[in-house]
């Protein structure tokens, strides 16, 4: 027989084991927690133990941007982890990158507190994104004491990105960032979407908030009690071991209706009529019932039976959860516990949680593509402010140098273009590039890359364009890369050669560079000299000789790139004897044509009467041989046969921007957000000319007629006949001022000093034209120039009077104001006061964010108060 001492010993051992297991479990749980004190310097006692028992660490290793600050005004009840913050004055999107377990459910909580850290007392409003999807709008003007949005979410990749997005003029801030993995994957299930916390309460007439370590998941439980209720309590433990594990201390108390015949009713107002709710109710019988006593009740939601009858188990947790999301009629939500006829006791409720459904419809970029582009970033030590968050989506935050596949929101985007031209790359071409398996365009030009052209490029079957020009590559080009359908650009690598010329070197034969053939160059030079002598006389000879050194390079370069030098007869054939005119410019007429019977092209033919024809031809070919950008029109080929000069471009089916603003030629009137997107793309092409080219280039003729649109309204700059190089960071003197009246920089026009800010002025006029749809010069008005007209109306302060009436006021007013201010800033008469194109791009991106959030009327997701009470969020007793 077991002795009393033996039983006591067994109880002590079991109790000790339980205590040890509990401590170990808590330690293990906290080891999985992520607790970031944002803005805390890593050298300043990191990690440290907060008053809650949680260990907090600096956020430095999880984000690459932002500044640190300390709040000046700390609300009562806030502890150490809220003393510091991180703020983001630069960039539109700044993101934390956290490693998580893909497919595991997490409680994610962020805390935002302004605390007048900057002494300006300007409280910010901004957005927070979870990956590529909007999570919440953070409004610290309304929420003076801070906010803490919280969701239950399952990451779809092993990297979780939490991004702060600037939506106005104020600066985003963040105080803490917390992640808690949920042990049970079957808890808090939804039909679709994630769960945003609406409220979480335990029912007690005294007490404080409950969180870790009382709650193993560190859920925060607020106290709720109404005057119509009576409290019941127990000192005994309640078995809370189900998948939800509400805290023991919350279950030791419960509320019942003081009027035993009345229902226990909780009501709240829905934020939106179509909000969908999930309700989790926690019950445990904590009273000793007599044999003749029964507690039984039904659960009713909006007058419909929700569950029942229920008899709570003695000191044993029962959780009733929603099987599917429920909406509330008329925005009024009512949850009632109604005793049954055979019940002798009123219903009780210990605790409950209310969540709303939040959908994150936009799929993240393919995980393997994200890993590949981050490896490329690490390999070359790239540091770009906007390379944060998802690389492809949302589109307005897409990383510089990338294009991605346009798929539906449910399909992960794939990276199709990688443009790292003029990025200071050194070393060999990284093998990780081949992990971008859907890549169509690879541009690594204008860098310091060394080594050979790697064989793995041969296996990237989706590649259509490879630009490796102007590097220091050596060896031979793999034969398989010289295939039909692949455009390969390799000029400017003097030690790079064709495979045949490398394989069989001869004693008196130098290696033939890819960029030119000496023999063909000599022939072309002789032919051109004779032609110029016969046709143009002495002055033409001088002009022709100025062009000749580039001409031989052009011929060979086109041949090596699978681009073509066309004969004049071929030009006649491709244009069907110049049948269809697309437009007319200073160079000459532009015709529609076909190459190979199927590929549409635009053919610009030199007019014999053009005084600048040869200059424009040289400038345009010279530029387009060197630059390749997704927002610059690409050159298909050329014709140089006697006096017959022609340039063959890709065809853009939607014509030019000017036609779409006016609606001429049956063109559609484009909406506001599309206009901003076109402005952003045009600005990106212009920025590339200014800082991506070596030497830098100015376009000199930016206007709406020179912004062409493809079938998807993607914008590309065209007409580079007036383009000129300039010294980076400075200006050059141009005695022959050129440009289009109205768009021409007045400072450049008067002084002849040419710089990138001259293009900025022209772009500002384009932006004003897109905003107002008014002529750049109106001879019938006292304020003849568009800047004068807009400036006059600006003094009245009425944006609607300025905006294009064809938009029918279908635009976000904040976005319109910002775009207008940007345009006027670009068109400032003083070049020193104009922004750079990089600054213009950042501002247009923010205008786009405003435009889409305004027109789309995105939900303003109200986070829960931290310290102060908000009666609109608190369920009320009836």
Number of helical (H) and strand (E) elements in the chain, helices listed first: 15, 45
- For 384, 414, 437, the CA distances from 372, given in Å and listed in that order, are 16, 11, 10
What is the number of alpha carbons within 13 Å of residue 298 lying toward its C-beta? Answer: 11
The token pair at 386 is 């906007």
- What is the distance between the alpha carbons of residues 441 and 434, in angstroms, rounded to a whole number? 12
| Pair 108, 151: CB distance under 8 Å | yes
Give the sign of the dihedral formed by CA 618, CA 620, CA 623, CA 626.
Answer: negative
d(C-alpha 649, C-alpha 643), whole Å: 20
- The DSSP secondary structure of 602-633, one letter per residue, reads EEEEE-TT-TTHHHHHHHHHHHHHH---TTBP
**For helices 613-626 and 518-560, what crossing angle results, to 10°?**
60
Note if 101 is an active site residue: no
* 71 CB burial (10 A radius; 0-12, 13-18, 19+): buried
Q: Which of 693, 695, 682, 846 is nearest to 762 (CA)?
A: 682
Crossing angle of helices 756-772 and 837-855, rounded to 10°: 20
CA distances from 61 to 79, 97, 113, 200, 213 (A): 23, 9, 21, 32, 26
How open is the CA angle 158-164-165, to the nearest 5 degrees? Answer: 120
Ligand-binding annotation for 504, yes or no, is no
Task: List the catalytic residue out of 275, 366, 701, 804.
Answer: 701
Dist. CA 311–CA 128, nearest whole Å: 43
What one-character-per-residue DSSP string does 31-76 give? HH-EEEETT--TTTT-SEE-TTS-EEEESGGG-S--EEEE-S-PPT
Enter the tokens of residue 82. 């809220």
Pair 639, 567: CB distance under 8 Å: yes
- What is the 3-state composition of the chain as percent helix, strand, coil, each rounded to the nearest 5? 30, 25, 45
Asked if 286 and 295 touch (Cβ cutoff 8 Å), the reply is: no
| 724, two tokens | 């000129």
Q: What's 318-373 look like in SS3? A: EEEECCCCECCHHHEEEEEEEECCCCCCCCCECEEEEEEEECCCCCCCCHHHHHHH
The two tokens of residue 119 are: 């002494």
User: What is the secondary structure of 394-457 as a DSSP string?
Assistant: SGGGPPTTEEE----TTS---EEEEE-TTS--EESPPGGGGG-TT--EEE--SSEE-S---GGG
Angle formed at CA 651 by CA 646 and CA 653, multiple of 5 degrees: 140
- Three-state DSSP string of 669-718: CCCHHHHHHHHHHHHHHHHHHHHHCCCCEECCCCCHHHEEECCCCCEEEC
Contact 189, 195 (CB under 8 A): no
| Cβ proximity of 802 and 795 under 8 Å | no
Rounded CA-CA distance 404/9 in Å is 68
Q: Residues for the chain: how many in total?
A: 878
d(CA 247, CA 494) in angstroms, rounded, equals 72
The rounded distance, in Å, linking the Cα atoms of 370 and 376 is 10
The label of the residue with tokens 């040419």 reads 754
What is the pairing mode between strands 448-449 and 426-427?
Answer: parallel
Catalytic positions, written as ranges: 701
Q: Which residues are annotated as a binding site?
A: 604
Q: Which residues are annotated as a binding site for ATP?
A: 604
């Amino acid at each position: 027989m077991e002795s009393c001492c033996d039983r006591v010993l067994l109880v002590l051992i079991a109790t000790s084991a339980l205590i040890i297991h509990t401590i170990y479990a808590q330690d293990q749980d906290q080891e999985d927690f992520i607790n970031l004190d944002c803005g805390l310097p890593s050298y300043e006692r990191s990690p440290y133990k907060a008053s809650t028992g949680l260990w907090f660490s600096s956020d430095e290793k999880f984000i690459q941007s932002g500044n640190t600050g300390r709040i000046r005004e700390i609300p009562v009840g806030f502890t150490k982890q809220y003393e510091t913050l991180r703020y983001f004055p630069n960039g539109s999107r700044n993101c934390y990158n956290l490693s998580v377990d893909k497919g595991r459910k997490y409680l994610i909580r962020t805390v935002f507190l302004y605390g007048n850290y900057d002494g300006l007392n300007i409280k910010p409003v901004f957005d927070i994104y979870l990956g590529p999807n909007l999570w919440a709008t953070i409004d610290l003007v309304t929420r003076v004491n801070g906010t803490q949005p919280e969701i239950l979410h399952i990451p779809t990749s092993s990297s979780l990105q939490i991004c702060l997005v600037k939506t106005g003029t104020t600066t985003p801030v963040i105080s803490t960032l917390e992640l808690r993995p949920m042990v049970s994957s079957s808890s808090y299930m939804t039909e679709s979407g994630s769960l945003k916390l609406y409220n979480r309460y335990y029912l007690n007439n005294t007490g404080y908030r409950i969180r870790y370590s009382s709650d193993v998941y560190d859920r925060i439980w607020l106290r709720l009690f109404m005057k119509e209720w009576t409290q019941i309590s127990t000192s005994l433990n309640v078995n809370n071991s189900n998948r939800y594990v509400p805290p023991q201390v919350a279950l030791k108390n419960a509320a019942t209706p003081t009027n035993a015949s009345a229902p226990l009713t909780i009501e709240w107002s829905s934020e939106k009529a179509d909000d969908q709710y999930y309700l989790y109710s926690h019950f445990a019988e904590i009273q000793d019932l007599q044999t003749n006593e029964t507690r039984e009740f039904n659960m009713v939601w909006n007058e419909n039976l929700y569950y029942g009858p229920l008899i709570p188990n003695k000191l044993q947790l029962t959780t009733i959860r929603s099987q599917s999301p429920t909406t509330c009629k008329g925005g009024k939500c009512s949850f009632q516990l109604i005793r049954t006829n055979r019940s002798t006791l009123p219903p009780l409720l210990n605790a409950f949680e209310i969540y709303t459904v939040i959908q994150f419809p936009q799929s993240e970029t393919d995980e393997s593509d994200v890993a590949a582009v981050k490896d490329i970033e690490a390999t070359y030590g790239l540091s770009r402010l906007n390379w944060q968050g998802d690389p492809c989506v949302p589109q307005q935050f897409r990383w510089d140098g990338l294009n991605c596949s346009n798929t539906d929101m449910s399909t992960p985007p794939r990276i199709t273009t990688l443009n790292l031209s003029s990025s200071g790359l050194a070393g060999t071409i990284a093998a990780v590039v081949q992990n971008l398996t859907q890549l169509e365009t690879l541009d690594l030009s204008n860098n310091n890359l060394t080594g050979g052209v790697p064989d793995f490029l041969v296996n990237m079957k989706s590649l259509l364009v490879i630009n490796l020009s102007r590097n220091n590559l050596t060896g031979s080009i793999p034969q398989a890369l010289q295939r039909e359908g692949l455009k390969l650009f390799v000029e400017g690598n003097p030690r790079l050669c064709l495979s045949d010329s490398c394989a069989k070197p001869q004693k008196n034969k130098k290696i033939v560079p890819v960029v030119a053939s000496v023999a063909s160059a000599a022939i072309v030079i002789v032919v051109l000299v004779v032609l110029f002598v016969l046709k143009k006389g002495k002055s033409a000879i001088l002009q022709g000789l100025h062009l000749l050194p580039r001409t031989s390079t052009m011929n060979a370069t086109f041949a090596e790139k699978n681009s073509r030098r066309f004969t004049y007869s071929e030009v006649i054939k491709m244009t069907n004897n110049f049948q269809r005119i697309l437009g007319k410019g200073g160079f000459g007429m532009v015709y529609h044509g076909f190459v190979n019977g199927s590929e549409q092209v635009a053919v610009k033919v030199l007019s014999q009467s053009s005084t600048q024809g040869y200059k424009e031809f040289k400038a345009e070919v010279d530029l387009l041989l060197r630059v390749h950008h997704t927002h610059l029109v690409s050159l298909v080929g050329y014709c140089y046969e006697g006096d017959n000069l022609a340039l063959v471009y890709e065809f853009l089916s939607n014509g030019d921007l000017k036609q779409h603003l006016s609606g001429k030629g049956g063109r559609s009137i484009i909406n506001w957000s599309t206009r901003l997107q076109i402005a952003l793309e045009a600005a990106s092409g212009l920025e590339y000319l200014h800082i991506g080219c070596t030497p830098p280039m100015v376009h000199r003729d930016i206007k709406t007629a020179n912004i062409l649109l493809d079938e998807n309204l993607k914008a590309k700059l065209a007409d580079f006949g007036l383009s000129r190089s300039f010294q980076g960071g400075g200006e050059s003197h141009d005695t022959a001022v050129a440009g289009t009246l109205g768009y021409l920089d007045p400072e450049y026009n008067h002084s002849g000093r040419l710089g990138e800010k001259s293009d900025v002025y022209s772009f500002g006029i384009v932006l004003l034209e897109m905003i107002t749809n008014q002529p750049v010069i109106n001879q019938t008005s006292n304020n003849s120039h568009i800047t004068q007209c807009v400036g006059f109306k600006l003094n009245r302060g009425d944006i609607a009077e300025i905006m294009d009436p064809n938009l029918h006021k279908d635009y976000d007013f904040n976005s319109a104001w910002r775009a207008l201010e940007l345009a006027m800033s670009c068109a400032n008469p003083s070049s020193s006061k104009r922004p750079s194109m990089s600054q213009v791009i950042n501002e247009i991106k923010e205008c786009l964010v405003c435009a889409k959030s305004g027109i789309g009327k995105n939900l303003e997701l109200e986070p829960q108060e931290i310290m102060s009470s908000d009666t609109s969020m608190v369920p009320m007793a009836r």
